Structure 1
């Protein structure tokens, strides 16, 4: 029976494994969220996009997404995260019955998982692969915290290196679930991983540059003294966030434009495929259900400010989706 529970394998490394301390951290980060132009939680919130780094880096940013969730009537939470440890040209479902967190376990929605498995489109995730992957786990304590005292089940899905067409295909499978009033979706993604350690040093030479005029920095190719690397990274990420903002465009157009943006810039947004699946699902709901989604970005931060080619950083962004 123990094998059916996925252990909190990144506790005491990526975040504290002490339940009392973790609960206090999450509570304080959520309390620190103070939006100035809207009211949280957001009525009609159907999905959030939030980072999955160690909590000391991304925990406060993720709080902005979770504070937006209106938990009223929600009984099922899909969690979509990228695969960091193995290649997969598809999506995979957990074989576990529960996911452990230091502040309380989360049961998996076996009925929904069996329905998804019956489509023949999903691979099975081994326990080892499940516990190795952090992109889902880093969201579990936040999910447990914001749904504290509530009876919910989760549907964790690891999304592989799929193309735009497959993102739309999996989005179409998930769309009927996302349309249900008792369901929301969490999408796990960090943004730009910049630096030689990530093999990514793309740079805009000035604030007017387009993606076509960007280039890679190296020891011999230096940044402009008047345009710091961290400002270029911000611009690079904000370009992606602008593309993924709805309205004025449709989810289908945003999905297409995001794919083109990634082709041009190669921005190292690790959750680009889970994001693509979410936008694929929204595109179906736009066409078939007349849904008019709203996607708003509410927080953006960087782990450090890069000034030279020797530096590195990871960006974190949070958004909510409302129908």
Structure 2
């Protein structure tokens, strides 16, 4: 019997009707492509992404700027490892979902069994379905993956209290090759006035791009813990970060009195010398 994690935030964070959801996704991806396209069509894709996880009307356009870069990997990317922060259930460690698949209005995505087996023995990893049951940070990424990559397997991990080293250890165990993409789900600063948020978020972006080991704090990004783990692993694997988009809810669909920051990053493998 398949253990299905049903969609929990469809109709709230994104449309629950498949036709509307599909249309919205195509719109965001098309607009991101038109805004950011330059040069010949890429034949490779990033190893890792950082993308926001708010309601689509707020952060969908920013997330799309990252997802569009995965388009060349359709049919080649086999697994997406997704890490996001725990918003609803406090716990120590990194939580597996205890599910075989995740449902969205666009269908179900299977959980990668081999990936689960590869990390289940690590002391920081536990199976905690309740941490996944109502968590939006991972779920909102799934329709984008379905639109861009089709039927791909996922390894969704909710990150509770953990060290960057513990996160990086999980990422290293799942690193794989071009068939595996790592996705970190995180917004940036929360509920500052517009100008102040822009200043805070710009400093956070510079910190991430430096890749120098300086930790990101939770007042800078709700997903600071998985971001810090990725930055450790990215440094060790010689990835090169690139900022794709930086905006906030005051730029998209909200008031500028108290905004939430959103950024999209891609991390690329260094080109090999022939």
Q: Same fold (TM over 0.5)?
A: yes
Please give the alpha-carbon distance, in whole angstroms, between the structure 2 residues aligned to 1:103 and 1:119: 33
In structure 1, the partner of 2:246 is 300
Please give the alpha-carbon distance, in whole angstroms, between the structure 2 residues aligned to 1:39 and 1:194: 39
Q: Does 1:233 align with 2:234?
A: no
Number of residues paired by the alignment? Answer: 261
Q: Does 1:275 align with 2:227?
A: yes
Please give the alpha-carbon distance, in whole angstroms, between the structure 2 residues aligned to 1:39 and 1:276: 33
In structure 1, the partner of 2:257 is 311
Equivalent residues of 1:173, 1:281 under 8 A apart: no
Please give the alpha-carbon distance, in whole angstroms, between the structure 2 residues aligned to 1:192 and 1:39: 34
Please give the alpha-carbon distance, in whole angstroms, between the structure 2 residues aligned to 1:187 and 1:44: 16
CA pair 116-176 structure 1, distance change in 2 beyond 3 A: closer
Structure 2 residue runs without a partner (length 5+): 270-274
1:45-86 C-alpha deviation (Å, 9 max, x unpaired)? 101111100111111111001012241521010000000012
Would you identify which runs of 4 or more consecutive aligned residues in structure 1 move more than 3 Å?
Answer: 36-42
1:3-57 C-alpha deviation (Å, 9 max, x unpaired)? x101111011111110011011001110111315566657241011111001111
Please give the alpha-carbon distance, in whole angstroms, between the structure 1 residues aligned to 2:261 and 2:40: 25
Please identify the structure whose Cα radius of gyration is greater: 1
Please give the alpha-carbon distance, in whole angstroms, between the structure 2 residues aligned to 1:108 and 1:11: 19
- TM-score, normalised by the number of residues in structure 2: 0.88
Structure 1 residue runs without a partner (length 5+): 196-228, 286-291
Q: Secondary structure at the match of 2:243?
A: strand
Equivalent residues of 1:301, 1:316 under 8 A apart: yes
Please give the alpha-carbon distance, in whole angstroms, between the structure 2 residues aligned to 1:120 and 1:176: 13
User: What is the aligned-residue RMSD (CA, Å)?
Assistant: 2.0
1:258-302 C-alpha deviation (Å, 9 max, x unpaired)? 34xx3xxx63410111111211222332xxxxxx31111111111
CA pair 79-39 structure 1, distance change in 2 beyond 3 A: farther
Equivalent residues of 1:83, 1:158 under 8 A apart: yes
Query: What's the CA shift for 1:129?
Result: 3.0
